[in-house]
Amino acid sequence: MNDRTALVTGANKGIGKHIARLLAAEGLTVYVGARDAGRGQRAVEEIGAGARPLVLDVTDPDGIARAAAQVDRLDVLVNNAGVSLSPAPPAESDAEEFRRTYETNVFGVVEVTNAFLPALRRSPHPRIVNVSSGTASLAWSTNPNPQFTPGSGGAAAYRSSKAALNALTVFYAQTLAEEGFKVNALAPGLRATDLTPGAAAGGDPAEAARGALRLALLPDDGPTGGFFSWDATPVPW
């Protein structure tokens, strides 16, 4: 796989950095997307061979275009960058919180994916992995699930943005299927990262990253338009 390339957004820390490390260990050249050049460079140094820094703020269309101009061919895109701004339910949130959350978690994915589609189309086996959340599952939100408390309506901006990301995953998969793309969403589970309040109770981010790696390296007869847990179990929409 020494001639294959990947881009992971939000890869200077957390699950994203673990995903980048695993892809590099598989022999891919991995662009480590990070808003801050210094943090991105430090992550590249920690990951080691195969890692390349790429300044990329998913909320900056001009910056996305500059980043895309630096990548000629791309085999794997992992849309990992995400934000969770508040645990509040919708009745205790304001529209601005939703706008800021969707700017990264939804609109940023559209901007980045579309900007890098020309590079992905140069790959014989293009793969897109969207890092979603089990809390985005409407089925799990209305039925008991051990990962979170059903019926609470908390973190409404984050959870609804990830539900929208799931819909985008299906639409991209349908649109790009005839070109050989595999587009899937990952539910990484509760992990000890900066994104999760009380993260100390979460599991190892590296475990979730292995789920992303599997979707990133799917064979040509693998699934597309699916929503999967880190352990390959299908997640209900």
Amino acid at 113: T
Please say whether the beta carbons of 17 and 87 come within 8 A. no
Q: How is residue 104 written in tokens?
A: 């990264």
One of 31, 102, 158, 172 is an active-site residue; which one?
Answer: 158
Helix or strand (DSSP H, E) at 98? helix 95-102
Q: Is 158 marked active-site?
A: yes
Residue 233: other Cβ atoms inside 10 A: 9
For helices 205-216 and 14-25, what crossing angle results, to 10°?
50
Pick from 52, 63, 65, 66: nearest CA to 8: 52
Residues classed as catalytic: 158
